[in-house]
A = this chain, B = another copy of it.
Amino acid sequence: MRSKVLIEQALESAVTASEAQGCPPRLAAAVRHAVFPGGARIRPQLCLAVSMACGNDDPGLAMAAACAIELLHCASLVHDDLPCFDNAATRRGQPSVHAAYGERLAVLAGDALIVMALGRFASSGARRIERLPDVMATVVQGVGMPTGIVAGQAWECEPRVSLAEYQRAKTGALFTAATRAGALASGVRAEPWAHLGDWLGEAYQVADDIRDVIADPGLLGKPVGQDATHGRPSAAAELGLGGAVEHFDRLVAQAIASIPHCAGAPQLRQLVQLESERLVPVSMTSTAGVVRRPMVVA
């Protein structure tokens, strides 16, 4: 898909610029390790896809938002993998940043990535600069306090937490930011597009719970069984595997149904469907003995 190529190029250019003369070489290497090779880049793709569906009259601003969101996602993975959190030795099939570069550089690489996200907005070359504050505000909302992904991770440090609130903040918030920012970058109201991010974010979190139970760790690129090991709330534990898969399929259908009427709607529906099959493949669930109804996308 062309937008994924453009996202990779923009991320490469952001990381390369940060490696300029004077940068401590091991920090530069740790940051590069955190960003490449990436995962599916689903959040920035979603942001760009919504921006395109909304006319995409300021592609620089849309790409800045998309890259900022991906860099913030990478930062959260680096910090979530730290020994004091998941203590995960692998990520995306390679050593986690702290496993490869040590805990100190993992903390700093995460920090540098958050700052780099701010830098994307500084150098967006936005044509419609008046849109910049709202786009940034929606990304901040998806990442920071009180209800962004940092807050989501912080719920793991609280004595009481509701599964919905935890998952909404830990994963959903950044998906919602992606669809909202895509709309705002194109000068369109964010609210009608928030639902797509909401449903997809929830679906993604449920998929993560499902994969943590039945995925092949080699294919997943990270250890499985982490939710049970860390006693984390999980849809698979709460609903059973079959119930979790059914819940996932329903969420994806709701995401698709929520897409506002616009010229780019068919492409967006297709993107969501492809992504859902990538996340929880029929082959994986059928191996685990779960029967699913085929999804029909209008």
Contacts and interface: CB of A to CB of B under 8 A. Distances in A.
A19 B119 CA distance: 25
Count of this chain's copies in the oligomeric assembly: 2
A79 B150 CA distance: 15
Contact of A146 (B21, B137, B157): B21
B115 A140 contact: yes
A104 interface: yes
A100 interface: no
Contacts of A104: 84-85, 154, 156-157
Interface of A: 18-28, 31, 72, 75-76, 79, 82, 84-85, 101-105, 107-108, 110-112, 114-119, 121-124, 126, 129-130, 132-134, 136-137, 139-140, 143-148, 150-151, 153-158, 161, 165, 169
Leading 7 A-B pairs by shortest Cβ distance: A23-B146, A115-B144, A27-B154, A122-B136, A18-B145, A122-B137, A24-B154
Given A27-B150, A27-B154, 7 more contacts: A18-B145, A22-B151, A23-B146, A24-B158, A110-B111, A112-B154, A121-B136
